[in-house]
Chain A
């Protein structure tokens, strides 16, 4: 019981510190406040699990998860490579590349644009993960079927954003390119694609999360004996909940790193855009 009381005391102290920090307006507060908040939650989790004697089958303590993480680095790494690198990343690259190319092709015909945009918008909202069993049936158990699910999931959100982005350059700017006697390709490469980048990256960022979800869900429908989705479903069956949490940590790290990486590329590519300026 003392541990629980301690947890509550720590919570109150940390929250008081955060309120003071947040209202102080110091620059470091932008990083310190969320970090303190996250650390407090972890400490409370640890203390409450021990204090209330929560069964490790329900909720293992963070230290137990960390210990499991450290001892099974090898397994986690093979799962990571199988699911994230082979399944999600390859599908992501193929799907996003195909979507941008398709957007450029569609963009030449206003008729197609008017037809495809509503359909694309609609399809982007559908639960496309449902194609996972079909893809597993077509491409087998290995990473190819996972990549195919990812392609299907990321294609429409990126397509819709890219088509909208290609319309971002306004008439005045296009006319300017015309007065320079620029051809279609030159206008596309030097004006319209750069102008579309903020939109395209918006789609690419949405697609990062979708890619990981697709790759993991597809593994529930059949996979070789490795991969994050496989490990999670088998570990749940063995009640090795600390292993499940270790995989969740890997998924969280991979997801955040993936998103962060795309954001970093966006920053470098669209440095000229108002939303990026002045945020050095």
Chain B
């Protein structure tokens, strides 16, 4: 209770502010219409008019909820109007990118820990790679993928996701693989352990908590990558594409609902990864 009450209060406050904003921002249009029709609008009428607009400037929370409900449950999941369908497309790219990012991040980390030369040449560029706004590359990746003969939109999106998600994994894995201290390394030396044995029996187990901690950041970054990848690439399927379509065809409700569908997807992914992390931590004896 001590923890949920403040959170609920804040969420309630956000909802109240949101309703006030919807009323305030949408009222201009209603008042305009009324002035043009040369009639007065009472306060009650104004409130109800601002809450039910077809093309609101700020969609009221309940309108978003209805659009979201309709998008998720109102259509067959194979329908192009269903958020389940679009969400799956985005999720697929996210998961591929996430997997690719993990492989890349872990692979680079292993190379960096074992070779000073790799460490010194790759690490600074990895840091710089993250300061480059990936979206600048996104349309490029699509063109190149097309030119090489990959028609599928999945590949470029997954590449963008991987680009955003490999970095947290790389950084955590480097610190994780280096976390065994001198004493532990010396002990294995006295056992006459080979480099490979030190790696598998000491470094890998020691790095696992770091690995799982980084996954949470990586999955969030992956989803952002998949959505960003859908925006400039002319994709027609996926949650990002739904936002684009909603904005271009003057259907703000679809845009808002797609935004929240993406947020819910992000929340669900973070919860799942968090659960995996806790389970792994318990198995490894890190958390009590």
Contact = CB atoms under 8 A, between A and B. Distances in A.
A212 B136 CA distance: 10
Interface centre among B10, B144, B247, B252 (most CB of A within 10 A): B10
A216 B11 contact: no
A133 interface: yes
Contact of A129 (B8, B227, B246): B227
A118 to B, nearest CB: 5
Given A130-B227, A130-B240, A137-B57, A37 B125 contact: yes
Contact-residue size bin, chain A (C-beta under 8 Å from the other chain): 35 or more
Interface string B23-43: 001000000000000000000
B83 to A, nearest CB: 13
Contacts of B10: 112, 115-116, 119
Contacts of B44: none
Interface stretch (B113-121, B180-188, B199-207): B113-121
Interface stretch (B66-74, B100-108, B257-265, B276-284): B257-265
A27 B119 CA distance: 15
B95 interface: no
Interface string B125-152: 1001011111111011011100110000
B51 interface: no
Interface centre among A36, A213, A228 (most CB of B within 10 A): A213
A137 B147 contact: no
Given A130-B259, A217-B232, A248 B270 contact: no
A113 B3 CA distance: 11
A6 B144 CA distance: 25
A232 B256 CA distance: 26
Nearest to B130: A209
B259 A217 contact: no
Interface string B56-95: 0100000000000000000000000000000000000000
A213 B232 CA distance: 12
Given A18-B121, A23-B116, A111-B9, A252 B131 contact: yes
Nearest to B258: A130
A34 B57 CA distance: 50
A256 B7 CA distance: 37
Given A18-B117, A19-B117, A122-B267, A37 B122 contact: yes
Interface in A13-60: 15, 18-19, 21-23, 29-30, 33-34, 36-38, 55, 57-59
Contact of B224 (A127, A248, A251, A259): A127
Contact of A244 (B128, B133, B140, B227): B140
A115 B227 contact: no
Interface in A241-267: 241, 244-245, 247-248, 251-252, 255-256, 258-259
Contacts of B239: 130
A130 B247 CA distance: 11
B220 interface: yes
Nearest to B260: A130
Interface secondary structure of A, over-half rule: helix
Contact of A217 (B120, B135, B142, B256): B135
Contact of A134 (B9, B131, B256): B256
B24 to A, nearest CB: 13
Contact of A127 (B2, B136, B143, B227): B227
Contacts of B144: 58-59
Contact of A216 (B7, B130, B136, B140): B136
A48 B76 CA distance: 49
Contacts of A114: 2-3, 6-7
5 contacts: A37-B125, A114-B2, A125-B216, A126-B266, A233-B139
Interface of B: 2-3, 5-11, 14, 25, 57, 115-117, 119-125, 128, 130-137, 139-140, 142-144, 147-148, 216, 220, 223-224, 227-228, 231-232, 239-240, 243-244, 246-247, 252, 255-256, 258-259, 262-263, 266-267, 270
Given A18-B121, A134-B256, 12 more contacts: A19-B116, A114-B3, A114-B6, A115-B5, A115-B8, A122-B270, A208-B131, A220-B232, A236-B140, A236-B142, A248-B140, A255-B133
